[in-house]
Amino acid sequence: MAPETSTEALIFACNEQDLADGETLRLNAEGGIAVYRVDGEFYATSDSCSHEKWSLGEEGELEGHEVLCTLHMARFDVRTGAPLCFPAVLALKKYRTVVTDGRVYITPNSD
pLDDT band of 73, cuts 50, 70, 90:
very high
pLDDT for 109 beyond 70: yes
Whole-model pTM: value is: 0.90
The DSSP secondary structure of 3-36, one letter per residue, reads -B-SS-B-EEEEEGGGS-TT-EEEE-GGG-EEEE
Domains, the chain, ordered by start? 11-110 (2.102.10.10)
What proportion of the chain, given as a percentage, has pLDDT over 90?
87
Task: Inform me whether the pLDDT recorded for 96 exceeds 70.
Answer: yes
What is the percentage of the chain residues whose pLDDT exceeds 70? 91
DSSP-derived letter for residue 87 is T
- From residue 14, how far is each of 19, 20, 99, 104 by CA, in Å? 7, 11, 10, 5
**Is the pLDDT at 70 greater than 90, yes or no?**
yes
Question: For 39, what's the count of Cα atoms within 13 Å in the CB-facing half-sphere?
Answer: 6
